[in-house]
A and B are shown apart, each in its own frame.
Chain A
Amino acid sequence: MLDLWYGLVNTLLPFQWVEYTFMKNALLAVLLATPLFGILSTMVVSSRMAFFSDSLGHGAFTGIAIGTLVGGISPLWGIILFSVTFAILITIIKNTSKTSPDTIIGVFASTAVALGLVIMSFGGGFNKFSSFLIGDLLSIAPSEILMLLGIFVGIILLWVFIFNKLLIISINPSLAASRGINTLLIEILFASALAVVVAMTIHWVGLLIINSLLVLPAAAARNITNNVKQYHFVSVGFAVLSGVTGLILSYYLNTATGSTIVLISAMLYFATFTIRGRFLG
């Protein structure tokens, strides 16, 4: 299956930067992952969940530590499992307690990251984990790409079913309740989707900047769009554009790929911010 992709790239993109297989893999991963970031970020921003999505990175970080400690299952599944549990737990507590969401998220995120650091530093072996902080997009294995493809299809399908409900919840929870929407269930599904994507991509992008990919595309798109269709289209477009450009630039500049992608996203944000008045109706 991947051979088909390699052949396609060789014919369509006769450039130096895609001559290596790891670049072909990275390009495919970017083309699959960035649209997901673009789509999910629309509701992360609309539902004011930037801090929540940030905490998911911390959850995934702890998942890595626990996965390594426990062993048995493959680390990736360990991370996904832990992140999803972490996300569901926060969502339920956020919805049932009267405490302000940022406090709850703050408590969970700091606990998670502290726990992760303690486990990782146990016995002084922290160095082998430091790659998770910055990430390495060029280390993608073919099996991971297939898994990412599965997640891609799953999340697009999920988005078809939950987006409408999520939109109403983001506008007003009471309004959503009056339309018979199970707000907790929908929020849990959304949080889980975010957790899966974060867990899957964290060791490519890195803990430090993964959240920017879940915030910047939509934040930039909001500056120049007026309805949901434009919002999705522009957000996905920005995410893919910065992903591919970042990958190419990082190859030639020899910089960390994830961070290069984020910098380009940020530039798009500031560029749209300065012209926003001309687009908003």
Chain B
Amino acid sequence: MIGKDKHSCEKGEKNCQHLCCTKIEKFNVVIGKTKIIEDVNLHIHCGELTALIGTNGAGKSTLLKAILGEVKHSGVLKYFDAKGVRSGNPCIGYVPQYLNFDVSTPTSVLDVFMACTTSIPSWLMTPNSIRSRVRQSLEKVKAEHLIDRRLGALSGGELQRILLALALDPIPDLLLLDEPVSGVDHNGLELFYDIVSELREKYDLSIILVSHDLALVEKYADRVILLEGRVICNGTPEEVFKDERTRKAFGMLRSGQYGKEETSSVVEREES
């Protein structure tokens, strides 16, 4: 279980090298009278991709929003860097599940970057130095050709990569990814995860990923957490997918709530 984790942050604080971590302690979210999330404790290590899986309404997105501070919650979020020099609130990068924006909005990719990363009003001027910096950011996600594209003219996969590049400027201590349920095809998702994996190694990123695609989770995640209001199961993908409780949770999925795509990924996993 997490509490007994060998790489706990207390050690990291003192002497562990190349280890920084984010601690989520005793997170509870109550909306009205319903407990959405109950006593969630997680340690997220640098360079690790942690996937959150669970059924619909298991509180995955709510947990991300609680970490972002957007949803009222109890519990604390702490960050410790490798040498224990800097600790406190982590700098969080966030890739939302979907952007509910008006597709006719006259906003280019460059505008969004300027708005997010600079205080120079984008309606007034764009210095060349900013433009080249944004181009560099976009190169990280193989999207430099999209710099002047209107947001509404991007495909789902392109938009997701842009949002990833945005979340990586500045390089965050903790990256939260909320995988889109629809709008991005399978190839788009694979490309996205390839880029994420590559960046994770390059920048030693801590990543929490909410995923609906179990095949991709198995391929890319270092650690999987099954969430069902609270943490049911936590371990390597192999451990979690072998676990009776996971099988039960996604056995339930197969007969109901989710669509065919979800079912097929479960089957794929079992075959492999």
Contacts and interface: CB of A to CB of B under 8 A. Distances in A.
B102 interface: yes
B261 interface: no
Contacts of B115: 163-165, 167-168
A167 to B, nearest CB: 4
Given A168-B116, A172-B96, A163 B104 contact: no
Contacts of A111: none
Interface stretch (B35-43, B117-125, B197-205): B117-125
B112 A178 contact: no
A177 B100 CA distance: 15
Nearest to A171: B101
Interface in B111-167: 111-112, 114-116, 118-124, 126, 148-151, 153, 163, 166-167
A163 B65 CA distance: 25
Contact of A231 (B65, B106, B149): B106
Interface string A157-188: 00111011101101111110111000000000
Nearest to B150: A226
Contacts of B96: 172, 174-175
Given A168-B115, A228-B107, A281-B149, A159 B101 contact: no
B90 to A, nearest CB: 11
A165 B108 CA distance: 15
Given A178-B93, A228-B111, A232-B123, A171 B151 contact: yes
A121 to B, nearest CB: 40
A170 B69 CA distance: 19
A60 interface: no
Nearest to A231: B106
A49 to B, nearest CB: 12
B34 interface: no
Given A159-B121, A164-B115, A232-B123, A172 B106 contact: no
A222 interface: yes
Q: Interface residues of B toward A: which range?
A: 35 or more
A280 B121 CA distance: 23
Contacts of B5: none
Contacts of B116: 164, 168, 175, 179
Contacts of A227: 106-108, 110-111, 148, 150
B92 interface: yes
B241 interface: no
B105 interface: yes
B79 interface: no
A128 interface: no
B94 interface: yes
A228 B111 CA distance: 7
Interface string B7-29: 00000000000000000000000
B101 A228 contact: no
B108 A172 contact: no
Nearest to A166: B115
Contacts of A167: 107, 111-112, 115, 122
Contact of A228 (B92, B122, B167): B122
Contact of B105 (A168, A175, A222): A222
B105 A171 contact: yes
B99 interface: yes
A46 interface: yes
Residue from B68, B105, B150 with most neighbouring chain A CB atoms (10 Å): B105
Nearest to B118: A164
A230 interface: yes
Given A227-B108, A280-B150, A174 B124 contact: no
Most B CB contacts (10 A, CB to CB) among A226, A228, A281 go to: A228
A225 interface: yes
B124 A172 contact: no
B70 interface: yes
Contacts of B92: 178
A71 B56 CA distance: 58
A50 to B, nearest CB: 12
B106 A230 contact: yes
Interface of B: 65, 68-70, 92-94, 96, 99-102, 104-108, 110-112, 114-116, 118-124, 126, 148-151, 153, 163, 166-167, 176
Interface of A: 42, 46, 48, 159-161, 163-165, 167-168, 170-175, 177-179, 221-222, 225-232, 280-281
